[in-house]
């Protein structure tokens, strides 16, 4: 009996054939745009090849209505480069040249660049000093968005950038109203198809708080990058321009999608939940103590090495779209010889929540503070035990009987970030079990 007939063998492909279709090059097209992908040089040969007067498209590339060939990643055109196709030899040389050029993202030009919106809010990055050597004692928040953007003409080479002045403050004056305004604007912009990412220029003093607030309430996976500077715009070696340039690249990058709100300064990328200002005045002030930053900016590209594991942005349950205020939550700082005055004052002033920045593992002074917090809890104020130490987990039922007192612990959040999560938690519930779940989730 003859065996089953084997299926016909596929016709062998020519070496330069890949998956994709050939598109004839129109005689009228003297300018072609070919897509190149700067972050995966090996992919480039798969994306384009010229065969006489044809261009090969793969599933990584599309032919746009304008007759351009664009590389896509999701919906977004990643990089494009234009050149003239005169003849086969010229085309081949052009392709090789395009591959070389594409290795440097800063050289990318044209309509395929990402659309990045820069929202300005003030800070030292927009500050001016009386002389070029004034790096302390300057005035923050004096330079407007247009001047900030015009100071970095290189931005045009990496993104289609638009700017907007949302407000103009030194960030020690940040408050809940500004946060709500900023969050709503960010969400509106990110819902638009023509915005790929957002950069927020911000004073460094409260960058860690604004970034964590946005991390919890932004409803998008698109990149949001917060940037500042430690030296005013008028200073020798001002760090604002390079920080802004890197932030725009990061906000327009595929790598930053889905990573939550990022804080990027000094060539380093940090997660909003973990970053903290660590030095009063040096340019390397932003740190993620012990856990480390997420990655670097180098050679006009982001390089990520880890991610925050906590829920954020598009996966967050918090929504401020219909809120005009946030509940009052205050921080009580722990110290030796402590008394209960601050706790009682905040309760009398109407606090709905108190974060206690305790010594060590969130310890509470007895007999002064623990009974004061206990009484506050009995009046309905939610108490979160945090630590002034700056690192580590506050152990539940460790230094205080949290179950008995009905307290919540902050996990690893520092007091200023714990305050933000407690405010948002209180917009949804006053159930302390539920709030504790949120502290272990975000
Ligand atoms: C501020 O936070 O607005 C002033 C300090 C700074 O931006 O570095």
Region 319-327: mean pLDDT is 98
* Whether residue 97 is found in the same domain as residue 217: no
Name the burial class of residue 106, with classes exposed (0-12), middle (13-18) and buried (19+) by CB atoms within 10 angstroms of its CB.
Answer: middle
User: Global pTM?
Assistant: 0.77
Pocket test for ligand 1, best of 203, 208, 276 (most atoms within 8 A of CB): 203
The rounded distance, in Å, linking the Cα atoms of 62 and 175 is 46
Atom 7 in ligand 1: residue holding the nearest Cα? 203
Distance 185 CA to ligand 1 centre (A): 22
pLDDT digits (tens, 9 = 90+) for 292-313: 999 999 999 999 999 999 999 9
Query: Is residue 171 in contact with ligand 1, taking CB distance under 6 Å?
Result: yes
pLDDT digits (tens, 9 = 90+) for 195-242: 999 999 999 999 999 999 999 999 999 999 999 999 999 999 999 999
State the CATH number of the domain containing residue 290. Answer: 3.40.50.1170
3-state secondary structure of 175: coil
The structural domain count of the chain equals: 3
236: containing domain: 115-315
Last residue of a domain, one of 107, 131, 161: 107
Distance 206 CA to ligand 1 centre (A): 8
Atom 1 in ligand 1: residue holding the nearest Cα? 203
Return the closest-CA partner of residue 227 out of 150, 122, 301, 140: 122
The pair of three-digit structure tokens given for residue 137, joined into one six-digit string: 């004692």
The rounded distance, in Å, linking the Cα atoms of 269 and 407 is 34
Catalytic hit among 33, 50, 124, 432: 124
Residue labelled with tokens 């401020």: 320
Q: Helices 207-217 and 415-426: crossing angle, nearest 10°?
A: 30
Residue 272 main-chain phi, psi, to 5 deg: -55, -40
pLDDT digits (tens, 9 = 90+) for 383-398: 999 999 999 999 999 9
Strands 31-35 and 80-84: antiparallel
3-state secondary structure of 96: helix
Answer for the pair 361, 387: CB distance below 8 angstroms, yes or no.
Answer: yes
In the chain the first and final C-alpha atoms are separated, in Å, by: 68
* Whether residue 239 is found in the same domain as residue 130: yes
377 inside domain: yes
86 inside domain: yes
* Whether residue 156 is found in the same domain as residue 236: yes
Query: Is residue 140 in contact with ligand 1, taking CB distance under 6 Å?
Result: yes
Last residue of a domain, one of 285, 315, 345: 315
Query: Is residue 210 in contact with ligand 1, taking CB distance under 6 Å?
Result: no
**DSSP alpha helices (H): ranges in 103-224?**
145-150, 176-190, 207-217
């Amino acid at each position: 009996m003859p065996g089953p007939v084997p299926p016909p063998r596929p016709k062998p492909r020519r070496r330069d054939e890949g998956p994709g279709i050939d598109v004839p090059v129109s005689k009228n097209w003297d300018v072609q745009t070919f897509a190149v992908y700067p972050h995966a040089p090996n992919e480039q040969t798969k994306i384009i090849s010229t065969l006489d007067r044809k261009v090969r498209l793969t599933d990584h590339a599309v032919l746009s209505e304008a007759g351009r060939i664009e590389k896509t990643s999701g919906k977004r055109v990643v990089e494009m480069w234009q050149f003239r196709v005169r003849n086969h030899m010229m085309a081949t040389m052009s392709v090789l040249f395009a591959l070389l050029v594409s290795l440097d993202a800063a050289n990318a030009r044209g309509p395929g660049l990402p659309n990045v919106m820069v929202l300005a809010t003030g800070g030292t990055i927009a500050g001016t000093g009386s002389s070029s050597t004034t790096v302390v004692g300057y005035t923050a928040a004096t330079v407007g968005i247009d001047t900030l953007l015009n100071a970095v003409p290189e931005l045009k080479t990496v993104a289609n950038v638009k700017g907007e002045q949302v407000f103009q403050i030194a960030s020690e004056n940040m408050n809940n109203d500004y946060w709500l305004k900023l969050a709503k604007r960010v969400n509106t912009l990110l819902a638009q198809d023509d915005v790929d990412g957002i950069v927020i220029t911000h004073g460094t003093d409260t960058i860690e708080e604004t970034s964590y607030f946005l991390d919890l309430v932004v409803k998008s996976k698109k990149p949001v990058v917060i940037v500042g500077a430690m030296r005013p715009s008028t200073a020798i070696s001002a760090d604002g321009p390079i920080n802004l340039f890197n932030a725009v690249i990061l906000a327009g990058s595929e790598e930053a999608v889905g990573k939550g709100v990022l804080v990027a300064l000094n060539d380093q990328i940090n997660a909003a939940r973990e970053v903290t200002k660590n030095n009063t005045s040096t340019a390397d002030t932003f740190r993620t103590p012990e856990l480390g930053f997420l990655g670097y900016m180098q050679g006009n590209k982001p390089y990520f090495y880890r991610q925050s594991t906590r829920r954020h942005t598009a996966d967050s349950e918090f929504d401020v779209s219909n809120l005009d205020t946030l509940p009052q939550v205050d921080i009580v700082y722990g110290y030796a010889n402590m008394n209960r005055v601050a706790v009682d004052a905040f309760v009398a002033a109407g606090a709905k929540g108190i974060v206690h920045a305790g010594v060590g593992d969130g310890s509470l002074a007895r007999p002064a503070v623990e009974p004061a917090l206990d009484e506050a809890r009995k009046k309905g104020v939610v108490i979160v035990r945090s630590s002034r130490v700056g690192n580590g987990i506050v152990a539940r039922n460790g230094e205080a009987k949290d179950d008995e007192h009905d307290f919540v612990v902050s996990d690893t959040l520092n007091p200023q970030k714990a305050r933000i999560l407690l405010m948002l938690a209180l917009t949804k519930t006053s159930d302390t079990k539920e709030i504790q779940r949120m502290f272990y989730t975000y």
